[in-house]
Homo-oligomer: A and B are copies of this chain.
Amino acid sequence: MSTLISHSLFPKSFLAREEEMAAGFAKECAVVTHYRLKTVPGQGLVVDPDSKLEEELVVRPTSETIIWNTYRHWIQSYRDLPLLINQWANVVRWEMRTRLFLRTAEFLWQEGHTAHATQKEAEEEAHRMLEVYRSFAEDWMAMPVLTGPKTEGQKFPGAIYTLCIEAMMQDRRALQAGTSHFLGQNFAKAFDVKFQNQHGELEYAWATSWGVSTRLIGGLIMTHSDDQGLVLPPRVSPIHAVIVPIFKKPEEKEQVLAAAHRLATALKQGVEKQLHSWLNFEPVVVKVDDREQYQPGFKFNEWELRGVPIRIELGPKDLANESCVLARRDIPGKEGKEMGISLSAAPARMAELLQEIQKNLFQRAKKFRDDNSYEVNSYDEFKEKIENPGGFLWAHWDGTRETEDRIAAETKATIRCVPFHRPDEKGKCILTGRPSQGRVVFAKAY
């Protein structure tokens, strides 16, 4: 049987081994029950009842069960640890209400799974990966995030605790953008993964898992975009600048196009030199939009729609002045358009501008989040604010699942995170008045 078990399908019984995981994922599993279709005259293609599986297979909603079933064979001794497997994989979680990029029945994600000899090392790994995700979200995507553990009610099924990065979208809803789980010895026990430690004793291995998905693309769109379209942070944009040549007369065309291509080369070389490591050693891409069938105005709109950070306009008058005009995507319209700048100074200005745009996008998103974050001190205030205007509500909570569930049922707001960085302030739960060790962050979420 074992060779028939493929990696994206696993036997139902695997899920049953870890109780919390079974409870958490059973309700949203695609289940394979048969392995053959057949054509029946009059009915067309139907499921062949003779192909019913003895044990149903589950399409993986996450891979801890498969990974730990494999780790059992790989881990014998402390010398085999630590162990890290990372994969990009598609997973299926049945969703009745889907939302493009944010919530789809199938999604592509990166999932990492580690095994360690000690609790301390596993916990450090869980925190290290959270920091990797935080840095990617903030430093590359320019998407500010809160970091901290989830509550018991919101953690990953099967985890001891779940750390998360949590962002605010422009509609003030929260987006869980990445998670890192400390799994304790739960999966080692469920799949009987023991190793011999340095003293010759058998111990269960310690585990973490962590993941981000293409949901980050949704997060990027909903953090920065405006009515003109996508806005891409320079550090993740596949095109850094586009040059739109402007000409009317045929004799201008050749001259302007030649100058545009020269400028593109100069910009690429100049900016690459300055920003090589800042762009993670990726090439700088400057595109010349020399399509003949479209007018410059059409092109301006199209590149705005596609989110390219910098647009450069180059026409006969600019050429006569040996200059060009830069326009930044993060400030659309006339305000984002810079005064003419000399062609020789353009590479340095473009490099500055890319960094300015990256910084501005982050700061603007952070300001938006902070402007839409409130300390609330009563349940009435909470219920009012969560409806209008919405956002992140920092409130005291008594730490119980019961209170969290009641607030969620009554307001649709959940605790997004118990922030690492929160004021040291004891208080009273907004619902029960019982003592609270500090504020947690509530929001309506995707």
Contact = CB atoms under 8 A, between A and B. Distances in A.
Interface in A311-346: none
B36 A29 contact: yes
A25 B149 CA distance: 47
A9 interface: yes
Which of under 10, 10 to 19, 20 to 34, or 35 or more describes the interface residues of A?
35 or more
B30 A9 contact: yes
Contact of A27 (B6, B23, B37, B107): B37
Contacts of A4: 95, 98, 105
B47 A6 contact: no
A38 B107 CA distance: 23
B9 A92 contact: yes
Contacts of A269: none
Contact of A36 (B13, B15, B94): B94
A106 B6 contact: yes
Given A6-B104, A45-B22, A92-B9, A27 B31 contact: no
A381 interface: no
A44 interface: yes
A114 B8 CA distance: 27
Contacts of A3: 98, 100, 104-105
Residue of A23, A31, A89, A104 ringed by the most chain B CB atoms within 10 A: A31
Interface stretch (A56-64, A251-259, A354-362, A382-390): A56-64
Contacts of A349: none
B90 A7 contact: yes
Instruction: Report how many copies the assembly holds.
Output: 2
B32 A31 contact: yes
A39 interface: yes
Contact of A90 (B8, B31, B35): B8
Contacts of A36: 26-29, 31, 94
B22 A39 contact: yes
Nearest to A37: B26
A37 B7 CA distance: 19
B32 A105 contact: no
Given A12-B37, A37-B58, A59-B59, A106 B30 contact: no
Contact of A33 (B7, B34, B45): B34
A29 B34 CA distance: 8
A47 B28 contact: no
Contacts of A217: none
A7 B204 CA distance: 38
A39 B26 contact: yes
Contacts of A94: 35-36
Nearest to A19: B39
Nearest to A57: B30
Nearest to A25: B37
Interface in A290-316: none
A35 B28 contact: yes
A9 B104 CA distance: 12
Contacts of A15: 37, 45
A28 B7 CA distance: 17
A16 B105 CA distance: 23
A47 B11 CA distance: 12
Contacts of A98: 3-4
B45 A12 contact: yes
Contacts of A95: 4
Contacts of A8: 8, 59, 90, 92, 106
Contact of A13 (B27, B39, B45): B45
A100 B15 CA distance: 25
A158 to B, nearest CB: 15
7 contacts: A3-B98, A8-B59, A9-B30, A26-B39, A31-B47, A33-B33, A89-B90
